[in-house]
Chain A
Amino acid sequence: MTTIPVLELKSVSKNFVGVSALKDVSLRVNEGEVLCLLGDNGAGKSTLIKVLSGVHQPTTGDLFVNGERHSFAGPHEALQVGIATVHQTGGTVPLMSVGRNFFLGEEPTKGRGIFRHFDRKLAEQVALEELRSLGITNVNDGSALVGGMSGGERQALSIARAMYFGAKVLILDEPTAALGVKEASKVLHLVARAQMRGVAVVFVTHNVHHALAVGDHFAVLIRGTMADEWSKGERTREQVLDLMAGGEAMGDLEDELREIRTSGSLVSRKVGEKYVK
């Protein structure tokens, strides 16, 4: 690898009082690549996201952006160098319009001095154009309230917004977790489009199918350590699923379930049958 990764962690550990949340984690993501970060609940994914997005500082280890060592005092500093995080809840305000949401905190203005005012038309126009460039075509009123949009469309708005304001790295925190199949596939399209535009994407999920659909590189986090990492095509779906569930544990579970189904002694009554002594 000769390219300099956009974002890189080198043996990062993060300890909270008495608890070690991350142990010696290293990862890298290049321009136009999707790194899928897999892990079960409590594996340390949220801590890792917080380190990447500048909310937490690593206890030991280093973080590099475009090869330069960085230490963030807060999420705004990470944002300044182009690391944007889109959270599970979407990061949009439901009772505000598409245009107002898109430019929240970065509102375009017209006029000078006391005549300086929010350029609503421009905001709505740009927001719609950016949504369209991500393939969201059925939102065509920039003054419509975001609360009327679907979960996937709201994610698109957040992603479009992040890219418009110069995100080089997009961290997507479980963007498909709360969505149905159709909406989730919309979000996967978004990931692909962001990647095509040269953005490095860190896609955090516990859904193996979603990860395999869009990922270039993969990393699995188990109890705060990097359990495995590989590139596209190096593992089968089954291997990944086993790894995710903790391999052996999954085999044991299957055995136990089989036993419940076959042994008649455990089941004395059928559903609906009343217990009669």
Chain B
Amino acid sequence: MATTLETPMFEKPTVKPSRWKRGISNLAYRPEFSVLIGFLAIYMFFLLTTQPVFHSLAGTSTWVDPAAELGIVAIPVGFLMIAGEFDLSVGSVLAFSSMFLAAWVGYFHYNIWLGLVLAFILSALVGLINGILVTRTRLPSFIVTLGTQLVLTGVTLGGSTLITGSSSIDMTATAPVRALFSSNWNQFNVSILWLAAIAILGHHILTNTRMGNWITAIGGDIETANRAGVLTSRVRIGLFVTTSLAAALVGVIQAVEYNGSAASNGQVYVFNAIIAVVIGGILLTGGFGTIIGAVLGAMTYQLVTQGIYFTGWDTDWSNALIGGLLLVAVVSNNWFRKAAVARGVKKGS
């Protein structure tokens, strides 16, 4: 052992590849690259199998609009997953916020702006409770948020039938509120702008801020993050609150757009959001993923669901297609992630 110490440690520096080549290979190893390829392939497939109306503005809006609403929930769910946590309570938060607003406006006839503020504050409170429970008890967030999901579903249904006598409430929003949450231009819904704003902000936070670094580290190795001085509990509580706020935003959008809400609404978002972010290349166990991927995942999901209506096939099969897509996506994302890790070694040798 003593002899090896004396041998020099200098090794030949490797030749750096050209900037252009590096750019291409960097792109190919980005986690969302395989998602983009998959998305484009599916789009091409529908282009070939459907009528031209599919790629018209109107046809495009039929999958972009619901993708926007799914994306708004999927982005913070993706953030949480990158930080190694789940939030199964998004469905009941969505139902709660939309039912709260519908009851506030449609049943009590109170001021709608105050109702909006309260819907968001109360939903944020649910996120706060999720976050505090998860960080204090150290129980898996899967279980904790499953609990709050059930509690809030029951409270929403029970509260609504107790107070208004019905599990669905109709309401009418004022013009400025409609403009903010459900206006259309041409064919497209304003929720696309909400998604764009949240996606840009989310992407910036994850890639360009200290917070983004902390979130990834928490999901990658929470002990290491703790030792490095990252306030792991506070960051995660913040993420739970953000997720609840996003679910509340979609709840509000739907209540305004469809003039009311039903207590059973929103439950499909629990798994649809998880499916979208996993298709989008975010690692189910945390520590890896991008926001562009999450958005592409939501787009891919809705593209498949909606594309079927344009093919003229029996729509009963669409879940089978989504399931197959999910499996293919997980396998290919896995492969690309391993390739990205291995690249670090190859470059040096």
Contacts and interface: CB of A to CB of B under 8 A. Distances in A.
A and B touch in the complex (CB under 8 A): yes
A144 interface: yes
Interface stretch (B52-60, B178-186, B265-273, B338-346): B338-346
B227 A91 contact: yes
Interface in B323-347: 337, 340-347
B79 interface: no
Given A145-B344, A188-B5, A210-B1, A75 B227 contact: yes
Given A96-B216, A100-B213, A140-B16, A91 B11 contact: no
Contacts of A139: 344, 348
A199 B344 CA distance: 29
Contacts of B111: none
Given A118-B212, A213-B1, A140 B348 contact: yes
B209 A118 contact: yes
A105 B287 contact: no
A148 B341 contact: yes
A197 interface: no
Contact of B14 (A92, A118, A140, A210): A140
Contacts, number: 123
| Chain B interface size range | 35 or more
Nearest to A111: B208
Contacts of B288: 95
A117 to B, nearest CB: 4
Contact of B230 (A92, A105, A145): A105
B348 A92 contact: no
Contacts of A141: 344, 347
Interface string A85-97: 1010101111110
Nearest to B345: A148
Contacts of A236: none
B9 A135 contact: yes
Contacts of A96: 213, 216-217, 220, 287
B224 to A, nearest CB: 5
B136 to A, nearest CB: 18
A28 to B, nearest CB: 25
Interface of B: 1-2, 4-5, 9-11, 13-14, 16, 26, 204, 208-210, 212-214, 216-217, 220-221, 223-225, 227-230, 283, 287-288, 337, 340-349
Interface of A: 75-76, 79, 85, 87, 89, 91-96, 98, 100, 103-107, 109, 116-118, 120, 135, 137-141, 143-150, 185, 188-189, 192, 209-210, 212-214
The 4 closest A-B pairs by CB, nearest first: A148-B344, A144-B344, A105-B228, A93-B220
7 contacts: A93-B216, A94-B221, A116-B209, A138-B348, A149-B345, A192-B5, A213-B1
